[in-house]
Structure 1
């Protein structure tokens, strides 16, 4: 039998009886128990294995189709994949919903109980990881041959809890019960070097003599497409000590900790997503983590390339590697090292192959968010890569000097090495120099990248710079997260094809003036708020869910909350619109300013909750540990989407898209993808306020004095004075002082416009028919923000790849 091509495999049944039989087989033979003695965990894992088997069958056919087609592959390198729970999605994608439900019923377990046991993989944190998950989903849906590469973190980033209102980080032990969705592949392990020194052999070739060797052990998770037979994978690397990392002699002598210290040091690499880099050891571990990812992945990509044969000169024709932000940009010098040192290619040939292979997505405009690493750390940890970076830099600067003779400032600005105040490697510059394409993730972001952040590079290589606006998965964030609304949409449009072609949602516009349909739409939103259970379902649900950062301006939202609190206190009998304000998100462990904002939010929430004169009109909630699972409850319940970052600071956003897709109206600035959302849903269905990017830039350049806004705005002054006086549990003074004395993100300058815009929100909410119509039009016109469209843009303009269809036969 030719198992390589999937021939000879027993087809799995599609009936309820066959599914139940396979489930029982998995219970008996793979869990080793019986129906009578099975626990809920046994039932859950047997169900997972039964669904997974059906996807694995499709994976075998996908591999056979790819092997026959020998296509150009997309390899997506990302430090994060925020996948969300897998069970419900994989049941949907495998088309086993009805038969799985029947089998569970026969076993006496409920789908809800099984969903609760399905743990969200701790492989990501925020928008970067969620985007990566959406894009690999869309690649499979569009039949694009692709593999996502990442790290299998043992503990993810952290589980957020609150103690006295302050964020406290706990380990996220997401694999405590194991992960039945993954396939270990220890035979594909790779060897990774660190430290040591370089030398030259007799032929003059550079050789790296490592001081530490770590093994990268892979596993993979299946990524099925929706409405297609394609199943791709995400391959995840886990760090292991080498065979010599356990010291038996020390162990025998009772030195147990010393005996395993090398193994522990190796395994620390994949313990936690984004280890705290506020210490020298933390910075070293984070850089080790980044190199570990790219070293393992590139060796695996080259291994896969050799399976098809062909000379290395064909490598770019068969491989495009997308760098998701700068975290994997070490892949550029690593591929050069592999091609030059191990494959024996000349520098010029290797560099041409490298540039043709890589593409880079930049996700920020903030200078502090553009990664740099100390040269001294590189020299110690990755000595050969520093030599390669120096050579890349020398050749780059020679080209700059040739193109712009005498422009010393440009040479300094474009160098891969920042000289002062400390010599550091600029990873974004490396990513631009070593790739064929650089893209931003929203129209404004891409424009500002070329005009400001990476202006010199865009001037020298204008053809490299593109825009690919982000998108989200309509399956995960509407079809699964909002089942009642999905059923209404399917009923209205006549079928469920919209989940694979989001432009079909435009068909909802014909119901925008249908009173019965609008009533059903409104009832579903109310039911979603009741399901969330964090406030009065008849109150306006005002939602701000995102990573905590000062530029995102959670502090602006909080100042408005305090202002609303004061207005209700000053006018207890007034006609106040009831509102529940929901914050959710995490702050990086070492980001003390963001953590201070979180603590102040919780203090304000407690003060409001304790005041019976205020609670009928205003409630503030902050559920901890925001992730995909919690987002799937919050997003469908939102009436108002807070997208209030300072204009020119947010790259794109994807939360804004998910919320608009679920019928939330946006209040926002002209920042990131807000601009494109407003253009598509209609200005009349969007609450716009605040400075635009040129005005914000001009204000800062002319000399911004935040105290002047405080002095002339009584409500703003009252809010800040309340914080400074300790009215909210005595916390938050540092937040107020930062706003009054510095206010980097112009919070006070935008406060009055924001407060007035919120008054417009209150007025609009009082006309529920008009509000519901606007909600429906947000959903109907959000089709552009599908991850399927995003991947199509990448495929046609950057990757130049074609789909490979997978058939059942």
Structure 2
């Protein structure tokens, strides 16, 4: 149903009265938010139901995307846009005297993810629905997100992120579709009459997985898929409080708390045995609920038999966290459905596909055998059998690879290797950028690549341009539409036609005007949040991402210190003003990352208050980085810092978002930076630093010495001496640990080695910025090529090459 401004206003008035008990004149922004959300949810619900019925009627092959993270941000504007109601709603709110941004801002960012992994999953769901594919997400409904970050005296302090403290209007609880998950206990085998084994479970802890469904609306196409989030709750028969004995009452509360913890926190602290066990519980909880649900759906949609499950279903596991999908599907097929091992294995290995997101060994999960055996005894039996059969298969069927067995065994060194389990049990393994996939094939997973070369493929990540351009940057979106028409919204490859405007002076002037307005808006936000006034004519130099040593925020702040030293030595130096903008969370237990956050703040406190420097150099750290904050920063970014140590960043998606909004990339040849470079050309990007081959050579063969760099480069020595001497700290606050980490751990991420090249790249960027026409030309060329990094392109590739899905025709 198409809603006019008048009918929308009428519905708003009715919703305010019926839901919130108030009228327009007395309504708060929160009242208005819930009223708008109710209208949008009603608009979505009919299409949601019709989509499900349409898929069932056609017995459509469906994809299930299992991920521990879905960083969906706020959904209000996204859902309004996809329903075709954003302009109508915005106009109506203004007419009624409300500031739309304040109304939309009443929504808390959903605490369902942390970084790029979760944001990618959210982009994928958007594209799957917008391209009319039958695909759904499956995750955990965490009550608390990662954490709410506060900075106190330069130190990161973690507060609970209770994002569900108020009603979340986009979810629908479906208690009638709850499922039971079993932990612990004993597993007893029995022989069936045909000689096969069946298994009985005793003394297990039962947990209810209760689904909450969130609609995933396609862009103005009446398709609404589902993000199903599972909540851990006590089984109904255990919910009555046993008050007859005080001891039983307290035992009940302890058990209830233990159960609720499973969906309590995103990434609980795993520094203790209990924390590790909770993470493992979360992972099994997610995959068991999801796969039980998939089997139930298959029986309802297609046929009572599961023999053709792999023809009607594909499961994509997002990183190693859901690797237990492999043994869980085996368990359900054998123990619950009566399949033989061979038949179950055939179905499993034709159903599950695995995406790898990292080359970092610490991110390739491993679990102690004893923990797996105690917590998931039947699952461990199956993993053990998978490992035995896999290793024997190599020994007898592929004798040329016998020497690889210790390095590819799923169980080795008294640990279960989750990435190996995912590889052995899936039909597809993909990396997320060309370089990343090549590194997997030639080094990190070379042993498996030699055994299963046919399984490996690349799917370069993408971002949804509808959220990250159309929604967050309406000024630029309108300018693009005026120039090339609206076709780019549904076919982002059409952005390439903007190249013809890269020499059009009036268009370039408009590009500059849009960026100026976005910078002004961000400067206002910075002033409100930090009290610092920044120079709106300075270069907005942005690094926003998780705080990790390989992402090298440290090198960025070293560059700030270098510029500050230069300005102090030569106050009359001709330098284009710079505003360095950081936003990042460090993992609670990651000491060095927290030290880097502290250093950024202490450098900022000195630089920002030095009258001799004035507004030529400012350092801003915006706390509690999340999707909503990114949506404010990215449209204003001019220089995009993508400076990871080459070979360490699998892909990156922030690089794509800022490129799409006209920022120029300064970066290493790492992750998707390589593909950005390939598309825009070396003249439209600022590349520096070691190559991945050089990094690997240093790691393998040595030859690099941080102390040599310290003695050879006066700039580096001065910065490190300033850290050691406390110039950017105080008697209580020193940064000697950063100094020692670089000097005595031999600069593990090559900050010093790349520093000279990094400064050169910045000087080149500054010279280009001074030529305003040239900068706008480069910016336009980057926007024009950004359509290649739309998640629509990525999803088309997944659908055709891995999932074997076709767009579902309209009903």
**Into which bin does the TM-score normalised by the smaller protein fall?**
over 0.9
Q: In the alignment, is residue 335 of structure 1 matched against residue 339 of structure 2?
A: no
- Residue in structure 2 matched with residue 9 of structure 1 by the alignment: none
Matches of 1:150 and 1:521 in 2, distance apart? 40
- Residue in structure 2 matched with residue 434 of structure 1 by the alignment: 425
User: Size of the alignment, in residue pairs?
Assistant: 792
Matches for 1:547-586 after TM superposition, within 5 Å = 547-586=546-585
Counterpart among 515, 518, 533 of residue 525 in structure 1 = 515
- Residue in structure 1 matched with residue 270 of structure 2 by the alignment: 277
**CA shift in 2, pair 1:639/1:35, >3 Å:** closer
Matches of 1:736 and 1:250 in 2, distance apart? 59
TM superposition shift of 1:40: 3.1
Q: In the alignment, is residue 124 of structure 1 matched against residue 113 of structure 2?
A: yes
- Residue in structure 2 matched with residue 304 of structure 1 by the alignment: 297
**CA shift in 2, pair 1:208/1:744, >3 Å:** farther
5+ residue gaps, structure 1, are: 1-11
Matches of 2:598 and 2:262 in 1, distance apart? 31
- Residue in structure 2 matched with residue 697 of structure 1 by the alignment: 696
Matches of 1:174 and 1:783 in 2, distance apart? 33
- Residue in structure 1 matched with residue 253 of structure 2 by the alignment: 260
Matches of 2:457 and 2:771 in 1, distance apart? 42
Deviates more, 1:669-678 or 1:743-752: 743-752
TM superposition shift of 1:102: 4.6
Q: In the alignment, is residue 717 of structure 1 matched against residue 751 of structure 2?
A: no
- Residue in structure 2 matched with residue 242 of structure 1 by the alignment: 235
SS in 1 for 2:219: coil
- Residue in structure 2 matched with residue 344 of structure 1 by the alignment: 338
TM superposition shift of 1:619: 0.7
- Residue in structure 2 matched with residue 507 of structure 1 by the alignment: 497
Matches of 1:157 and 1:323 in 2, distance apart? 21
Paired residues of 2:542 and 2:582 also in contact (CA < 8 A): yes
Q: In the alignment, is residue 482 of structure 1 matched against residue 473 of structure 2?
A: yes
Matches for 1:137-286 after TM superposition, within 5 Å = 137-203=126-192, 204-246=197-239, 248-250=241-243, 253=246, 257-286=250-279
Matches of 1:414 and 1:468 in 2, distance apart? 24
Matches of 1:708 and 1:666 in 2, distance apart? 30
- Residue in structure 2 matched with residue 376 of structure 1 by the alignment: 370
Deviates more, 1:259-268 or 1:357-366: 259-268
**CA shift in 2, pair 1:530/1:39, >3 Å:** closer
Matches of 2:514 and 2:658 in 1, distance apart? 15
Deviates more, 1:109-118 or 1:67-76: 109-118
Matches of 1:376 and 1:609 in 2, distance apart? 53
- Residue in structure 1 matched with residue 779 of structure 2 by the alignment: 775
- Residue in structure 2 matched with residue 643 of structure 1 by the alignment: 642
SS in 1 for 2:370: helix
- TM-score, reference length from structure 1: 0.96
Matches of 2:150 and 2:602 in 1, distance apart? 15
Q: In the alignment, is residue 315 of structure 1 matched against residue 306 of structure 2?
A: no
Matches of 1:346 and 1:225 in 2, distance apart? 40
Deviates more, 1:226-235 or 1:21-30: 21-30
Deviations 1:459-510 (A, max 9, x none): 11111000000000101111111111111111111x3221221111112112
Counterpart among 437, 461, 465 of residue 446 in structure 1 = 437
Report the aligned-residue RMSD. Answer: 1.6
Matches for 1:383-422 after TM superposition, within 5 Å = 383-405=377-399, 409-419=403-413
**CA shift in 2, pair 1:108/1:254, >3 Å:** farther
Paired residues of 1:79 and 1:327 also in contact (CA < 8 A): yes
Q: In the alignment, is residue 458 of structure 1 matched against residue 445 of structure 2?
A: no
Paired residues of 1:250 and 1:258 also in contact (CA < 8 A): no
Q: In the alignment, is residue 73 of structure 1 matched against residue 62 of structure 2?
A: yes
Q: In the alignment, is residue 362 of structure 1 matched against residue 356 of structure 2?
A: yes
Matches of 1:32 and 1:431 in 2, distance apart? 52
**CA shift in 2, pair 1:201/1:757, >3 Å:** same
TM superposition shift of 1:404: 4.3
Deviations 1:745-784 (A, max 9, x none): 1111111111121111121111111111101110011111
TM superposition shift of 1:32: 4.6
Deviates more, 1:200-209 or 1:672-681: 200-209
TM superposition shift of 1:39: 3.7
Paired residues of 2:394 and 2:402 also in contact (CA < 8 A): no
Matches of 1:472 and 1:465 in 2, distance apart? 22
SS in 2 for 1:583: strand
TM superposition shift of 1:43: 1.9
TM superposition shift of 1:68: 2.1
- Residue in structure 2 matched with residue 324 of structure 1 by the alignment: 318
SS in 2 for 1:586: coil
**CA shift in 2, pair 1:662/1:330, >3 Å:** same
Deviations 1:203-236 (A, max 9, x none): 2312233531111111111111113121111000
Deviations 1:142-170 (A, max 9, x none): 00011100011101111111111111111
Paired residues of 2:242 and 2:249 also in contact (CA < 8 A): no
**CA shift in 2, pair 1:693/1:193, >3 Å:** same
Matches of 1:588 and 1:621 in 2, distance apart? 20
**CA shift in 2, pair 1:305/1:381, >3 Å:** same
Counterpart among 787, 792, 797 of residue 796 in structure 2 = 792
TM superposition shift of 1:96: 1.3
SS in 2 for 1:670: coil
Counterpart among 461, 486, 489 of residue 496 in structure 1 = 486
Paired residues of 2:241 and 2:249 also in contact (CA < 8 A): no
Paired residues of 1:193 and 1:210 also in contact (CA < 8 A): no
Q: In the alignment, is residue 88 of structure 1 matched against residue 77 of structure 2?
A: yes
Deviations 1:429-456 (A, max 9, x none): 0000000100000001011111111111
Deviates more, 1:85-94 or 1:102-111: 102-111
Matches of 1:223 and 1:738 in 2, distance apart? 45
Deviations 1:65-99 (A, max 9, x none): 21222110010001001111111111111011343
- Residue in structure 2 matched with residue 7 of structure 1 by the alignment: none
Paired residues of 1:247 and 1:259 also in contact (CA < 8 A): no
Paired residues of 1:246 and 1:260 also in contact (CA < 8 A): no
- Residue in structure 2 matched with residue 749 of structure 1 by the alignment: 753
Paired residues of 1:251 and 1:259 also in contact (CA < 8 A): no
SS in 1 for 2:212: strand
SS in 2 for 1:312: coil
**CA shift in 2, pair 1:571/1:151, >3 Å:** same
Deviates more, 1:790-799 or 1:556-565: 556-565
Matches of 2:168 and 2:241 in 1, distance apart? 31
